Amino acid sequence: GTTLGGAAAEKGRYFGTATDPHMFSNSAYMTVLNREFNQLTNENGMKWDATEPQRNQFNWARGDQLVAHAQARGMRVRGHALLWHAQQPGWAQNLSGSDLRSAAINHVTQVASHWRGKIYAWDVVNEAFADGGSGGRRDSNLQRTGNDWIEAAFRAADAADPGAKLCYNDYNTDGINAKSTGIYNMVRDFRARGVPIDCVGFQSHLGTSVPGDYQANLQRFADLGVEVQITELDVQQGSNQANIFRTVTRACMAISRCTGITVWGVRDCDSWRTGQNPLLFDCNGNKKPAYDAVLAELNAG
Ligand code: G3I
């Protein structure tokens, strides 16, 4: 393959990017996006604050625009994200207890229903585990509604869009550590009890190194029977950037249940990591050495 998406497709996988419909009028940007990627994630426009700015009043505009573009070009869509402690609308931030629980489950049901049949995979729950050594849940208003909030969200998403793959997504899970092990134990428990979870997303916002057990960590989740996906990949620019992108791509290609990779933006200047130049294209849309490394690994795998 001569493009990221094309090369991935030859291996039965996808290669995607985060984007936002406000970029769709930028022709230099869209030339790269349409050429290289066959999966899109809405960087902000499908989050709770964007889709339900007032309780039970939904705004589908940005998500609909992204889905329409993807469908017209045969690209898959990753839905991001149904429930998250961040980017909640103000009204939800002010709720607690059973009122918040029912608002959250209603949100999952309404959003997943609106795009039923159009989403390849949903990040049903995002970033619910704590950093550090505890291996436990992150404290949040959602967690304080009861430890079963995550499984309740997966069951509601399954009822609303039974065809979508339902994923748990998190960061700092790039090797075998307390946080990734806490998530592993939850996924194993969900599979044992029949809670509908199909996939785990590894954001992979990386600095200037990647853990040596990156692939082993993906593999232990795949061995639970779930798909694994790299969902928000970006790597701080340094002498090792291309090698780290290569290592991540190689790890995914080595695991049959690793179904795709998504980078968190197209060009360095589109990135949320200001000044770190963490992506595959420079600000002019030129391919960087990291691009060549990724493409070579996709074709080798
Ligand atoms: O669009 C408004 C603009 O109208 C306003 O004037 C401006 C002033 O603050 O804010 C703009 O919104 C910002 C938005 O990005 C679009 O640029 C928000 O403030 C800002 O918070 C938001 O940041 C996003 C961040 O999630 C929020 O937590 C980033 O773009 C987005 O890349 C980032 O993505 C997250 C994933 O969802 C989950 N994993 C981590 C990842 C990186 O933080």
pLDDT per residue, tens digit, the chain (301 aa), is 999 999 999 999 999 999 999 999 999 999 999 999 999 999 999 999 999 999 999 999 999 999 999 999 999 999 999 999 999 999 999 999 999 999 999 999 999 999 999 999 999 999 999 999 999 999 999 999 999 999 999 999 999 999 999 999 999 999 999 999 999 999 999 999 999 999 999 999 999 999 999 999 999 999 999 999 999 999 999 999 999 999 999 999 999 999 999 999 999 999 999 999 999 999 999 999 999 999 999 999 6
Residue nearest atom 23 of ligand 1, based on CA coordinates:
272
Q: Residue 248 and residue 223: Cα distance in Å, rounded?
A: 18
Sign of CA dihedral 290, 40, 276, 138: negative
Task: Give residue 87 CA to ligand 1 midpoint distance, Å.
Answer: 8
* pLDDT at residue 270, rounded to an integer: 97
Q: Residue 124 and residue 105: Cα distance in Å, rounded?
A: 11
Q: Residue 40 and residue 160: Cα distance in Å, rounded?
A: 21
* DSSP states of 3-40: SHHHHHHHTT-EEEEEE-GGGTT-HHHHHHHHHH-SEE
What ipTM, to 2 d.p.?
0.94
**Per the omega criterion (within 30 degrees of 0), is the bond before 296 cis?**
no
Contact status, residue 148 vs residue 187, Cβ threshold 8 Å: no
Burial of 256 (0-12, 13-18, 19+ CB in 10 A): exposed
Residues with CB under 6 A from ligand 1: 43-44, 86-87, 126, 171, 203, 232, 272
Q: Residue 258 and residue 229: Cα distance in Å, rounded?
A: 5
Torsion angles phi and psi, residue 291, rounded to 5: -60, -50
Q: Atom of ligand 1 at shortest distance to CA of 20?
A: 16
Contact status, residue 263 vs residue 234, Cβ threshold 8 Å: yes
* pLDDT at residue 202, rounded to an integer: 99
What pTM value is reported for the model?
A: 0.98
* pLDDT at residue 239, rounded to an integer: 95
* pLDDT at residue 65, rounded to an integer: 98
Extract the tokens encoding 191. 């599979």
Mutate to test the pocket of ligand 1, among 206, 235, 272 (most ligand atoms within 8 A of CB): 272
Task: Select which of 43, 151, 232, 297 is catalytic.
Answer: 232
Nearest to 187 by CA among 174, 203, 168, 170: 168
